[in-house]
Amino acid sequence: MPGLNGQGIGLARAELVPGGMFGMHTHPGACELIIVEKGEITVGFMSSREAYVKTLKVGDVIAIPRGLLHFVLNTGNENGTITAFYGSENPTFQYLGNQLFGTDVASDIIAQTTPIDMSQVIKQKALFGGTG
C-alpha cells in the first residue's frame, strides 16, 4: 500500500476459499496482527514448547509475535477475508516448506537432522523444486 511507505508498518488483505491457507511460515522482521473480516479462520502460532491455536470469527483479532512459526487456515464453509497488519514495512516472509525442501541442502542431511524419513524428504524436494 503506497501510502504506508516510510511509515514503519505494512498491510495485506487476503481472501481464502474454504480450506485455503497460508502454510507454516514466519515473519522475522515483524509481528503480525490479523483481523477477520469475513468467515471462520483458524490461526495458530508455535513457540519452542507451546502452540496457540484459535478459531476466529468476524471482528476477532489475533497477534502473532515476531518470528514465530504460524499458519492461517479457512476452516469455514464460505470464503473468508482477513486483513493483516505488520510492525514493519518489510516483514519478510519465510515459508517453512521452501526453506526446508526448496534448497540444495543434501536430502540425507535433512533426513538426519529432522524426524522426516528420506522417502518423504525426496518427495517434498520434488514438490518444492529443491535439489540434493
One domain, residues 59 and 73? yes
One domain, residues 20 and 57? yes
25 known ligand binder: yes
32 known ligand binder: yes
One domain, residues 64 and 19? yes
pLDDT tens for the chain, residues 1 to 132: 667 677 888 999 999 999 999 999 999 999 999 999 999 999 999 988 899 999 999 999 999 999 999 999 999 999 999 999 999 988 888 988 888 999 999 999 999 999 999 999 999 999 999 988
One domain, residues 54 and 103? no
* Number of domains present in the structure of the chain: 2
Question: What is the reported pTM?
Answer: 0.84
Cα dihedral 104/28/82/40 (nearest 10): 80
One domain, residues 55 and 110? no
40 known ligand binder: no
78 known ligand binder: no
Residue 17 sits in a domain of what CATH number?
Answer: 2.60.120.10
Cell of 48: 519452542
One domain, residues 88 and 102? no
Q: Domain span at residue 46?
A: 2-92
